[in-house]
Chain A
Amino acid sequence: MPLLRQREVVVADEWVTLVDSMGDSPPADDVPLLVPFAKFRANPDVYRARKGKLGIRLSPADKVEDLAPELPRLSLVALEFTGPGEGRGYTQAKLLRARYHFTGEVRAVGHVKQDQVYLMARVGIDAFELSPGEKPEDAVATLERFKIAYTPGSPLPALRRERFHV
């Protein structure tokens, strides 16, 4: 699946996602590891002790508040979009950036089509693991399409003007 970060195509994603099939042999200690929040909460100290970079993957129902204490040690928060109508990730991203001032990568994963990328970028998502078949250049083009917005949001290079302000 193509990964877009800061509007650039990432050829080799350094992050490894923790999955059940890894069993008792998790990746080496220095490999950047993305851990589903439920797994992290079951055994937080194990992951906190790792030397490598740590990321957490939130499902739509996970509360950003619960993740807040971990944010200083995280380099990545991945937000899962389970389908074309799932909208909780937009609020999760907004809260991560605006309320908790998280400066690491916020990545959309799951159902991530070019049609949602612009709105995702506006709430502070800066990396997109695009759905299979999506062309990264199309997704980048959607970020260029909107030059004007009504409500304030994360700055995009193409965006020239907003109506309302924080």
Chain B
Amino acid sequence: MRAPQLSLLLLLVGCFALATQVGPRFDQLGSRREKDLLASTFGESRRLFANHFFIRSDVYFHSGYYPSIFDQPGGKKENHLAEHAGAKGTDHDEHSEHGEHEHGEHCDHGEEASFLGKPKDAMDAFTRHFFVSQHTHLTEKGTNSPREILPWVKLAAQLDPQKVETYTVGAYWLRQLNKNDEAEQFLREGLRQNPQSYEIALELGRGYFEVRDYARARNVLEMAMARWREQENNKPAEQQNIFAAAQIVNYLARVEDRTGNRDRAISWLGILKKLSPHPDEIEKRIEEVRSGKPLEAQPAESQRSR
């Protein structure tokens, strides 16, 4: 064999041997490299991009009916997707036990529904045929339609892992799509990035509660409560996130009730009474639990997902 061909063969073998050595190490570093790459490429501006993509998920939730920066003065300012997922306290929550937004046919989104207003001129009226000018939600287009928001939530989480809301909202919609394992994994990732977040712990506990894994739900919710106390007790009362605390305590009471610890359930309900805007309702429930009635109807066996 001639020298050049032999050199080529030796180089090829050398490259192959080197690749087998270096390849696995690069794979191990893969996830870290990805984050480093995002951080070095975007710098602090990645938070802006993350926020944009999070808003984009809200745009998808509204099937494209969304105010632009030019419509903002009269448009919506809060992320409706987050409200829907129960990540934020709203006026609706006072009437909804779980803090989830129900969309019935009489659901009125007020300012959000009317940001376009009446057509300003004939050209404007005609132009409205060419963009989404009617308020609908992805949830109205089939049970699996909300999956379209997931890429944007995932991208937002990768760009800004410290944005807690991304994880709670993403996990809510993953659970709505019966992707409980993915929701748990996503929240665990969020908790790794934000170990002090009681919001993520609450969402994780909520997930365990829904699949009737009460032992883990209790652990996580108690951890959430401890972190809430660490972070919120130092704040003035009007700045405390009472909504989150009420949700944690509510779930803890339900966990204890489901596992037969009535005294513990009553104890948590006592705390909830102080937090709730409707203490009379909570008092009524405490009386019911004391009299031996369950706090709520037990879910049917067929609903068990685990």
Q: Is chain B a partner of chain A in the same complex?
A: no
B contacts, CB < 8 Å to A: none
